[in-house]
Structure 1
Amino acid sequence: MRLIIYIFLISQLLNFIGVFAEKVNKNITRFNKVNWEKVEENKSNPLKKIIWKYYESDENYFEKKNKQSSTTDKKNSHSEKRNFKSSKISVFSITEIEPFLPLNNFLEYDTIQASVRWKSSFDGGVGGGTGQQNPSFVFDYGISDSSLISIYITGADDDLYNLVDGQKINYYWQSYALSLKKKLIDEEDFDFGLSLVSTLEYWRHASGSETAKSIYNQKDSTLGKDKFENLVGALSFPISKNLNENISALIVPGITFLPEKLGPKGIGKNSYGNNFYIGSGLVFDIAEDFNLLLSYTTPLGPGNNYFDSNLNYSRKPIYSFGLGWNVNPKIGIEGKITNSYGASPSTGILTIPSDDLPLYSATLTYRPYGEDTYLNTLNERDKLISKGGITVNNALLPKAGNSQINISSDSRGNLFGSYYYSLSNLFQLELLNIGRFNNLNFKGSKKSHLYSNYLDENNFNFRLGGKLLIFSPQKNDLYWLASRLSVGRNDDTNQGYLFTEFMNTFRLNNWLAFNVSPKYFFSGVESFGGIGFSSYINLSDNLMLIPEINTSIKNDSELNSTLAVRYSFSSEKSLDLYYSNAAGVQDIGHLLKDNENRFGIKLNFLY
């Protein structure tokens, strides 16, 4: 453990010395490059003043001018992106393929980006549900053009994917990591790039419960939870080379420092231990805003990165492949298949506990200082429908910086509230969507198992997600098309599901718009598709009729319908009164039917 601390402290000290020296050198260079120029005025000026003007070196001066003009000049913006391919310093930077496979890319000085990553198995294993998830949050800050500091926060809490000794055993992971990356060799000056990346992590993990013994107890059959807190770390040296304008290759030798024995009841090694590894990766720019990402990593030992249902530890290669898409300079999206379950530099080479499975990984990156996509302003009629419907959503999006709040209640006790924030003109983050279904009558329904798992008597459902605008007449497309995805679970049964929809909205004339929304419900209990139809009929400037129909795409389809009247006090505030036999206004409630109708009220706010 002392070795980990010593290596981390020494590497951090060297990095900060390098950053300080770089800043001092920049300041000295700046003051040494002061140029004084005598400017003679027109001889007709009777005062014949001599004007002295100060400016920085031509290179820095015009570089700043170009950056300023790029915000208004689209051509210059594209030029900057082309320059990024060689300099690898830009708001478009992909800073890593995986947490343990950092790239020699950096952010510009004093810029930030934040990423949310979701790793999950395709099913829940013996624990059921949609999958075993390991969500994480990453914050990157450019402390200089050649130094990057990153903070990782990760957490997983599930049953082991497989039974151990015939029992379901819970496990818990939580990591808080601080990582510093410093450029050592610039590829512009040499034939390759090289950086040093050091990471220190606080790792909390646990196993076992009142009904199952811990996987770290190998001596007896005592039940109970074992908890551990460890200081762990990682060190890597990414080596990169641009093979051509579109392809970058990466080799990463590294080491992770993890405990090899935990607790007094282990027989020999009962944990992962330290691991040297060699990672390789490829970043292929298949289009201006699309990247193909590939990686393969071989753990060399002496430790391990995998254990099976018999608690036998061994080493497995780690792979990943997928696509990255820069929607615009503000928003980046990445989707991959990988068997890496860990989400921090020290745990990234670990497989899902008790198995080695392909997982899916989805990442959203937000760059607050990036230039947004320009959209024409919505007209007054379209602003009134941008708050969505009751059980059928539409594809319109409030502009960047706008918050949206919806609150609904009905005569049978359903209560829901949601909060959305537009990070970009093209992306709205669903930060909070909570509520409960109440007094449902589903007698005779073929989907009663769904009701018992997600809409039971003591249910409390919470969800989060996002909505991406793909087409819009605001940028000269024929219609609006948006994709939405949300995840969450019922707090009572601890069962979760994934809900997706593709919303297509068409404006026919000034008083009529309609919406077609294919939907898909995915869970460990059942998965099925559906489709929603709705119209927005303007009866007057501030009064609108909204009829809606939802049906699942199955022989046992449960068609439900809703009729709503919307009164708009302004383009930012409206009130919906509705009559419906849908189970509720939250995701799964769109596709399920209640045998009894209900009256409801929904308040919509936009600010």
Structure 2
Amino acid sequence: MNLFKSKISSNCVYLIILIIVSITNENKIKSSEIYNSNKNDKIEWKPIEEENIEGDDIDWYILDEEENKKEDEVKWLQIQVEEKDEKIKFIKNIENNIKRSNEIKKSNNRFILLNKGKSIPTASTLKNGELRIETNTVSSFSSGNSGGIGNQNYSGLIQYGLNSQITLGIFYTEADDPLFKKIGQYNESSANLWTNFGGNIKYKILNKEYYKISIDGSIENWKVGSGGCFGYNCTSNSKNIFNSKNEKILNNNLIGSISLPITYKLDNKEFSIVPKLSILPKNQGNHNGKRNFYGNNLGIGLGISNKHTKNITTFYSYYIPIIYGYNSFNSNLEYSKENVYTAGLNYNIDHKITLEGYLTNSFGLTPSTSILTMPSTKQIIYGGRFIYTPTNKRNSIIKSQDKESKKQNNQIYKNNNINLLNERETEIVYGVDNKGTQNIIVSRGFSDNFTFEIATENISKKNYDNKYIKTYLQPGNPSIRGGGTVLYNTKKDFYNLKNSLRMTFGRVLGKTRPGYLFAELANSLDINEFITMNVNPKFAFTGDGTLSSLGLNVIYNLNNRMSIIPNINKAIGNSDNTYSLNLERKITKETKLSLGISNYLSNNDMGQLLKDDKLNYKFKVSYNF
């Protein structure tokens, strides 16, 4: 019996072993088949052609180096495989797609601050091939003795990343307002001119994980003028500050600067310390006499920035002059050393557009002159900067937006004198009325959220009693204005609500050239398929007070080609009650005509807030491409 049990047990063991061997061989065959199948069937990687991808509303952004770190770092080892092996082709496909993905990410990096205020550069440089174009303006809060909206300085700057270590720049600035304060016993403010043209180079000499060091230098031609007058077509005369005579003095000076910015990064904060030397002239004048000027200045700057969100960064800076010359003078022509400070906010609208606003006591807008306060005073002024980065590309995955809805959105803004165009779209508008007033507006979509515009207007010559018309519009003289519109909010779930801000600045080109700032908040609601309502508060800021009005209009679409638009501007302060009625007709896909009647003085900015003594009939044609 025991022998029988032993045989049965042995047979069972043999049977189990045979089953295991059979299963193992079968798995080997299947594994071989899978391997051969994978070997023969290549994986093909294809780019997604569509820009709009349906799906969940995912917020995509680029991780910082610190955010992307892991405690246990993954180590990648190179596989030594023959080129002819199919495996290497598969791996190379993966590598190529990773490389392509990284290139897309690099083209959409977050905005990098190159300065914390004009006087304090950081050690950061632009990416290889990156291009930035910016405009900058500073202005006093009041006009002082200079007239107009205040003392202003304007600048334009183009910067280019030659490689990841070297950034090149070229710039131009101009300030031509009379001095903010009268000098001593002078009867009137002296005419003043600061014009700069030059270039700068920044070279990153050290780039570590948490800190970097650069050398930043500039060379500039600084044209300094005083006395006489520098306004467009002006005929007045004033004493200069260099020899106190009633004559114009104009000097060209070769100046420069060199600094050593050291920037340290900690989480979302950046700290910069910047030793800086500005090489400036020590006197100015002519053969009739000279007077001391600023002279060379050596100081140290401190700066800090804090990134609160993906789009918002605040910054603060402080420059302390230490030895050598001066950086400020008062109404008694007494020169002194004054600390220069700046506090501002940087708002990144989208991948191409950045806006910046700040308070400062720095009036110069170049590397060398940025340590100087406003001539004749050291008071706080305000500034604004617009930055356009055309080389940045749209994200590979973006929020889906219906094209027809987008087209309708733009149409509403155009009908409301708010031109919000698609990226790379251009519009030219020409308007004329029965009294001969003409205007031309050229607009360009820099991105889907920002449209730039430049406009010129010439109001027919006529005598008016209104001081704003006589001072800031000056009928019979041309004017030029520039600015833009930014779309900052859209809510499709609430009557397709859209909010945008339009701001322009410019001046009349008359014997005097006072300017004003115009701002308009556009709020649009789709009541139904045919009716859209707009509520637009409007403001014109001048040196003689602020004009304000509440704009209300309704756009009634009769059909796909024709709209009727009644508009009312309800006076709030220093303005008039004005109205208009327009009929718009789309002739072709690119062309639109408009006929209207209004009591506007003119159709551009402040002209809408002031009434004419008679009704005007106007004609307008626009062309999009």
TM-score by length of 1: 0.82
Q: Larger deviation: 277-286 or 96-105? A: 96-105
Q: Does 1:314 align with 2:349?
A: no
Deviation at 1:303, TM superposition (A): 0.3
Residue in structure 2 matched with residue 213 of structure 1 by the alignment: 239
SS at 1:469 equivalent: strand
Asked if the contact 1:567–1:576 (Cα under 8 Å) also holds between the matched residues in 2, the reply is: yes
Indicate how the Cα distance of structure 1 residues 316 and 475 shifts in structure 2: closer, same or farther if over 3 A, else same: farther
Match of 2:101 among 59, 62, 66: 66
Q: How does 1:360-509 map to 2 (within 5 A)?
A: 360-372=382-394, 375-379=401-405, 382=408, 385-386=411-412, 388-389=414-415, 392-394=416-418, 397-430=420-453, 432-438=454-460, 448-472=466-490, 478-492=496-510, 493-509=512-528
Q: How does 1:18-29 map to 2 (within 5 A)?
A: none
Separation in 2 of the partners of 1:571 and 1:509? 24
Residues 182-225 of structure 1 show CA distances to partners (whole Å, capped at 9, x for unaligned) of 1122232xx632111111111111111162222121xxx53211
Indicate how the Cα distance of structure 1 residues 355 and 380 shifts in structure 2: closer, same or farther if over 3 A, else same: closer
Residue in structure 2 matched with residue 145 of structure 1 by the alignment: 164
Asked if the contact 1:503–1:515 (Cα under 8 Å) also holds between the matched residues in 2, the reply is: yes
Residue in structure 1 matched with residue 603 of structure 2 by the alignment: 585
Match of 1:281 among 277, 285, 303: 303
Separation in 1 of the partners of 2:328 and 2:435? 50
Residue in structure 1 matched with residue 203 of structure 2 by the alignment: 182
Residues 309-343 of structure 1 show CA distances to partners (whole Å, capped at 9, x for unaligned) of 11111111000001101111211111000000000
Match of 1:38 among 75, 82, 85: 82
SS at 1:527 equivalent: strand
Residue in structure 1 matched with residue 547 of structure 2 by the alignment: 528
Match of 1:331 among 353, 370, 373: 353
Separation in 2 of the partners of 1:536 and 1:57? 53
Separation in 2 of the partners of 1:57 and 1:483? 45
Indicate how the Cα distance of structure 1 residues 417 and 475 shifts in structure 2: closer, same or farther if over 3 A, else same: farther
SS at 2:145 equivalent: helix
Residues 99-134 of structure 1 show CA distances to partners (whole Å, capped at 9, x for unaligned) of 331112121111111111111111221011111111
Residues 238-261 of structure 1 show CA distances to partners (whole Å, capped at 9, x for unaligned) of 11212x211111110110000101
Deviation at 1:136, TM superposition (A): 0.8
Indicate how the Cα distance of structure 1 residues 569 and 474 shifts in structure 2: closer, same or farther if over 3 A, else same: farther
Separation in 1 of the partners of 2:88 and 2:212? 46
SS at 1:369 equivalent: coil
Q: Does 1:98 align with 2:117?
A: yes
Residue in structure 2 matched with residue 192 of structure 1 by the alignment: 211
Deviation at 1:459, TM superposition (A): 2.7
Please, which runs of 5 or more residues in structure 1 have no aligned partner? 1-33, 43-49, 71-76, 82-89
Indicate how the Cα distance of structure 1 residues 470 and 38 shifts in structure 2: closer, same or farther if over 3 A, else same: same
Separation in 2 of the partners of 1:111 and 1:532? 41
TM-score by length of 2: 0.80
Indicate how the Cα distance of structure 1 residues 264 and 135 shifts in structure 2: closer, same or farther if over 3 A, else same: closer
SS at 1:65 equivalent: helix
Asked if the contact 2:478–2:508 (Cα under 8 Å) also holds between the matched residues in 1, the reply is: yes
User: Which has the greater radius of gyration?
Assistant: 2
Deviation at 1:442, TM superposition (A): 5.7
Asked if the contact 1:399–1:425 (Cα under 8 Å) also holds between the matched residues in 2, the reply is: yes
Residues 363-414 of structure 1 show CA distances to partners (whole Å, capped at 9, x for unaligned) of 111111223476432449726834624xx534x6210001111111111111
Separation in 2 of the partners of 1:35 and 1:155? 61
Letter aligned with residue 418 of structure 1: I
Letter aligned with residue 330 of structure 2: D
SS at 1:388 equivalent: helix
CA RMSD in angstroms, aligned pairs only:
2.8
SS at 1:287 equivalent: coil
SS at 1:178 equivalent: strand
Residue in structure 2 matched with residue 238 of structure 1 by the alignment: 261
Separation in 1 of the partners of 2:495 and 2:311? 19
Residues 240-285 of structure 1 show CA distances to partners (whole Å, capped at 9, x for unaligned) of 212x211111110110000101235698861100000110000111
SS at 1:454 equivalent: helix
Asked if the contact 1:581–1:593 (Cα under 8 Å) also holds between the matched residues in 2, the reply is: yes
Indicate how the Cα distance of structure 1 residues 582 and 266 shifts in structure 2: closer, same or farther if over 3 A, else same: same
Letter aligned with residue 528 of structure 2: N
Residue in structure 2 matched with residue 341 of structure 1 by the alignment: 363
Asked if the contact 2:462–2:476 (Cα under 8 Å) also holds between the matched residues in 1, the reply is: no
Q: Kindly, what percent of the aligned residue pairs are identical?
A: 28
Separation in 1 of the partners of 2:586 and 2:392? 34
Indicate how the Cα distance of structure 1 residues 486 and 41 shifts in structure 2: closer, same or farther if over 3 A, else same: same
Asked if the contact 1:213–1:224 (Cα under 8 Å) also holds between the matched residues in 2, the reply is: yes
Indicate how the Cα distance of structure 1 residues 224 and 294 shifts in structure 2: closer, same or farther if over 3 A, else same: same
Q: Does 1:355 align with 2:390?
A: no
Deviation at 1:573, TM superposition (A): 1.2
Match of 2:152 among 133, 138, 143: 133
Letter aligned with residue 400 of structure 1: E
Q: Larger deviation: 474-483 or 338-347? A: 474-483
Asked if the contact 1:35–1:55 (Cα under 8 Å) also holds between the matched residues in 2, the reply is: no
Number of equivalent positions: 535
Letter aligned with residue 157 of structure 1: D
Q: Larger deviation: 227-236 or 160-169? A: 160-169
Indicate how the Cα distance of structure 1 residues 599 and 292 shifts in structure 2: closer, same or farther if over 3 A, else same: same
Deviation at 1:415, TM superposition (A): 0.9
